[in-house]
Structure 1
Amino acid sequence: MAASTTPEPPEDLRRAVEAVLPGARTDLEALVRIPSVWADPAHAEDTRRCADAVATLAREAGAADVEVLAAEGGAPAVVAHWPAQSHDPARPTPTVLLYAHHDVQPTGGDELWTSAPFEPREHEGRLYGRGAADDKAGVMTHLATLRAFDGRPPVGVTLFVEGEEESGSPTLSALLAEHRDALAADVIVIADAANPAVDVPAVTTSLRGLANIVVKVSMLERAVHSGMWGGPAGDALTALCRLLASLHDDKGDVAVAGLVTGSSEAPDIDEATFRGDAGLLDGVDLLGTGTITERLTHKPAIAVLGIDAPPVDGAANILLPRARAMVSTRLAPGQDSAAAVAAITEHLRRVAPWGVRLDVSLHASGEPFALDAVGTVYDLAREALTAAFGNAAVEVGMGGTVPFIAEFARSFPGASVLVTGVGDPASRWHGVDESLHLGMFSRCVLAEAMLLRSLARG
């Protein structure tokens, strides 16, 4: 039998990582307890408190300087620096920017969770809680890596922990422009993606973009009695429903002309596995055409996230004068978000029924991103991930959006961008009972530590 070619992690790094994991777990739980939902104004102070907590952890991890920054009207972000230990002009040490975000999604209803969403709970090797995976696990992956080097990493490190990623990073461009010098780097490692399995590491090479719009329909000056006026006079909610239904064809593909659609040669996902991970009910069809991988990563997807409408309980017999909805579109790589919003707006205006007054406004957007994972940085990353996980690293696309990636790539076009996973299909990002696989978390820390050492050695 041929000997295994999977490299073994250096024993000293393995021991160093094992030594810091208990403290990292404790600090992760403390961060999960902070409801840093920046999208909810009621939690603005919690988000600031979370940024302060991350800043404190960075100082304790040996950062030479730490700042909590924010663009005007934006969420607090943490920027910390660990200078390079070597200053050999003949062999300059690279600067690596480690990115994650400390804001989290709303819970979707605390009562739906198996346990309180902001009270971390371990069960069968997974840590449950909002943000346990997305993306406070990313924050602690970076900090645990720095602790494993006793606060003296072998490369220059900038830690950047954003506070509004889950809101589409609306002030990120301004923040990058204002603090460009503090964030400049040769390599950027983004711990905000997912692995295909807890023991299979991934390098994410494409992400979809995002365009969230608010669609408002108006039909009447005021609410009127549905019996006295209904028939000749319509209601805005019914008109809105017809409008939203036009966004998909009968097969479930997006029916908006002008949106980019791509293809993928990546292996397809087993349908039964996908259905189970997504929680689809028996008998419910998958939407769209093409492989599941293509539908997830290289085709647009539209979903209605919310509708302003009276609840069923207590609904009155009236015609609603106005109704609005939040419509979210995931954009395929190669799509410009502004062009996508224009195409969707044109579609809605063209099909709007009954002469309704229509208002479309942009709520949040983020550009898609794609890269060729070719070169020394990516080779070293694959080696580190393969050694830490014991299985070969794979390249994957991700259906989600990280607005920071495209923004940073534009600001620092010479930097190598590496997107790594801190979740897995069972993590339920953005959903009820979000969780982190703790064994995978330890492997992520080990892989990142190995990568930093390899980058220092070239």
Structure 2
Amino acid sequence: MTAVFSDELRARVEADFGRVVDLLGRKVALKSISAEGITAEHMKRSAEFVADELRQVGIDAKVVQSRNPDGTPGAWEVIGSKIVDPQAPTVLLYAHHDVQPVPDPSAWDTDPFVATEVGTRLYGRGSADDGGGIAIHSGAMKALGDDLKVNIKVFVEGEEEMGSPSFIPFIEDHRDEFASDVIVVADSGNWSAEIPSLTTSLRGNTCVDVNVKVLHHPVHSGQYGGPILDANTLAVMLIASMYDANGDLAVPGVAAQEPVGGLQRDLDEATVREDAGIVDSYRLAGTGSLASRLWTKPSVTVIGFDAHPVEGSFNVVSPETTFRLSLRTAPSQHPQEAQDALAAFLQAHAPFGAEVKVTKLENGMGWAMDPNAVATKDALAAMEEAFGVAPINKGEGGSIPFIPELQRIFPSAQVLVTGPEDPKANAHSPNESISLPGLKNNILAEALLLAKLGE
């Protein structure tokens, strides 16, 4: 690729950027919350909007409704293609058009469904996750135009935020629409708004519900409290038993690993504390690099707990309670193995012989990239050219279970995980936003990657 063509692509991205920002603003306004019904009319409108925008940049796109494993109607999906040469490489571009709910709009500084520019960032639910991914694909396709030298297939999913329950049946029904040499998943992020990254790994995920029972019925805390600990206290003791004195998860059979491909740069603790809003007095748990603790070591979070609210509470020993644990697993460990180990540990460590029952829920496999793949090297070169600085590879503590499924079904495809987010994006949280300069560079990086893959 010549320097002249690279400069031309940069100029095209710059000239088209107003359209891209407008697209993103209109996408935010759609309120594409899949939790309010993946089959609902608002999700169909969201899919049709995305398909129309893709058609405007040369993709032959259409909206298709998926089916769930039980045969019931599933999410509204967008698939499409642009075939320039049957002999050329084929690249699948992935994003998702559904967004997270907004439980408390008052926690936002702006209207979550009105895209609002503040400084160099655009605020709004889905502006980064994953409207930014859609914007990147649209911008890259527009920039390349008739200079595109690879075949393109597109899949924009409608239920990623709901765990992609119909993903596998959909692939099986549309295998030809997914078959490709390179898969670009634009649903992750960069080291910062100024420093690009390829995502090297994703943790897996598994969940369990744990029921702790000590009594067959409630009793008065003054009459029986002391020798009988309430179920909530026993549950907390059980949860605490999973950790050692350093705060490392210490459940036999739940694996840990170091960052995939080696650690180029550890995360800055002060930045992590600021971005996460950690109180000053809290000391970070665990040992080893901060990157490994966030990317590749396992972590457990109590994501649900059945307990009586403080308001209206009274003097009674709670007879039983249930809590839900979300276990993020090391990228290379099968989540079923970790789930089995966690369940066995919890049942073996019942405090004071309380009854503990574990219900095993869904699993999602982790993923690690191939650092030696041609597409990986092309992507890193494209990122450096677009951003003007060398990329820093990084892992992600989150999970995208369909990526290993794609890799399993299409084992010869090279998978690249990119994305529009940065540490300030607040995906899934109040004040979600996207860096506009970062978005522009991401568009250019994808355009340069596609150009390199076509050489």
Q: Do both proteins adopt the same fold according to a TM-score greater than 0.5, normalized to the shorter chain? A: yes
- What is the rounded CA distance, in whole Å, between the counterparts of 2:154 and 2:56 in structure 1? 13
Alignment correspondent of 1:98:
93
**How big is the shift at 1:317?**
3.0
| Distance change >3 Å, CA 43–CA 171, structure 1 → 2 | closer
Whether the 8 Å CA contact 1:201–1:386 is kept in 2: the answer is yes
- What is the rounded CA distance, in whole Å, between the counterparts of 1:43 and 1:403 in structure 2? 21
The TM-score with structure 1 as length reference comes to 0.90
Whether the 8 Å CA contact 2:13–2:140 is kept in 1: the answer is yes
Listed as ranges, the matches of 1:56-95 within 5 Å are: 56-72=52-68, 75-87=74-86, 92-95=87-90
**How big is the shift at 1:205?**
1.6
| Distance change >3 Å, CA 7–CA 285, structure 1 → 2 | farther
| Distance change >3 Å, CA 268–CA 250, structure 1 → 2 | same
**How big is the shift at 1:413?**
0.3
Could you say what secondary structure the match of 2:424 adopts? Answer: helix
Instruction: Indicate whether 1:181 and 2:196 are aligned.
Output: no
- What is the rounded CA distance, in whole Å, between the counterparts of 2:419 and 2:215 in structure 1? 49
Listed as ranges, the matches of 1:210-249 within 5 Å are: 210-231=205-226, 233-249=228-244
Letter in 2 for 1:64: D
Alignment correspondent of 1:3:
none
**How big is the shift at 1:55?**
2.4
**How big is the shift at 1:232?**
5.2
Alignment correspondent of 1:140:
135
- What is the rounded CA distance, in whole Å, between the counterparts of 1:48 and 1:111 in structure 2? 28
- What is the rounded CA distance, in whole Å, between the counterparts of 1:18 and 1:225 in structure 2? 70
Whether the 8 Å CA contact 2:195–2:392 is kept in 1: the answer is yes
Alignment correspondent of 1:111:
106
- Unmatched tracts of structure 1, length 5 or more: 1-5
Decide which moves more: 406-415 or 32-41.
32-41
**How big is the shift at 1:447?**
1.0
Could you say what secondary structure the match of 1:10 adopts? Answer: helix
Superposed CA offset, 1:236-289 (max 9, x none): 322222222222222111121111111233122222222222221112101100
- What is the rounded CA distance, in whole Å, between the counterparts of 1:108 and 1:435 in structure 2? 17
- What is the rounded CA distance, in whole Å, between the counterparts of 1:45 and 1:337 in structure 2? 35
Instruction: Indicate whether 1:28 and 2:28 are aligned.
Output: no
- What is the rounded CA distance, in whole Å, between the counterparts of 1:94 and 1:280 in structure 2? 46
- What is the rounded CA distance, in whole Å, between the counterparts of 1:301 and 1:138 in structure 2? 27
Could you say what secondary structure the match of 2:283 adopts? Answer: coil
- What is the rounded CA distance, in whole Å, between the counterparts of 1:419 and 1:280 in structure 2? 28
Whether the 8 Å CA contact 1:84–1:153 is kept in 2: the answer is no
- What is the rounded CA distance, in whole Å, between the counterparts of 1:204 and 1:290 in structure 2? 20
**How big is the shift at 1:84?**
2.0
**How big is the shift at 1:190?**
0.8
Could you say what secondary structure the match of 2:398 adopts? Answer: coil
Letter in 2 for 1:76: A
Whether the 8 Å CA contact 2:347–2:357 is kept in 1: the answer is no
- What is the rounded CA distance, in whole Å, between the counterparts of 2:188 and 2:432 in structure 1? 14
Letter in 1 for 2:77: V
- What is the rounded CA distance, in whole Å, between the counterparts of 1:8 and 1:439 in structure 2? 22
Instruction: Indicate whether 1:206 and 2:201 are aligned.
Output: yes
Aligned residue pairs: how many? Answer: 448
Decide which moves more: 102-111 or 289-298.
102-111
Whether the 8 Å CA contact 2:257–2:330 is kept in 1: the answer is yes
Letter in 2 for 1:238: T
Decide which moves more: 105-114 or 198-207.
105-114
Instruction: Indicate whether 1:50 and 2:57 are aligned.
Output: no
Whether the 8 Å CA contact 1:52–1:68 is kept in 2: the answer is no
- What is the rounded CA distance, in whole Å, between the counterparts of 2:106 and 2:146 in structure 1? 41
Letter in 1 for 2:335: S
In the alignment, which of 388, 392, 395 is matched to residue 393 of structure 2? Answer: 395
Decide which moves more: 223-232 or 197-206.
223-232
Instruction: Indicate whether 1:161 and 2:156 are aligned.
Output: yes
Letter in 1 for 2:406: F
RMSD: 2.4
- What is the rounded CA distance, in whole Å, between the counterparts of 2:100 and 2:146 in structure 1? 31
Letter in 1 for 2:412: G
| Distance change >3 Å, CA 74–CA 199, structure 1 → 2 | farther
- What is the rounded CA distance, in whole Å, between the counterparts of 2:208 and 2:146 in structure 1? 43
**How big is the shift at 1:225?**
4.1
Could you say what secondary structure the match of 2:187 adopts? Answer: strand
- What is the rounded CA distance, in whole Å, between the counterparts of 2:338 and 2:73 in structure 1? 25
**How big is the shift at 1:345?**
0.6
Whether the 8 Å CA contact 1:209–1:401 is kept in 2: the answer is yes
Could you say what secondary structure the match of 1:422 adopts? Answer: coil
| Distance change >3 Å, CA 128–CA 362, structure 1 → 2 | farther
Alignment correspondent of 1:378:
376
Decide which moves more: 273-282 or 108-117.
108-117
Instruction: Indicate whether 1:351 and 2:349 are aligned.
Output: yes
Could you say what secondary structure the match of 2:201 adopts? Answer: strand
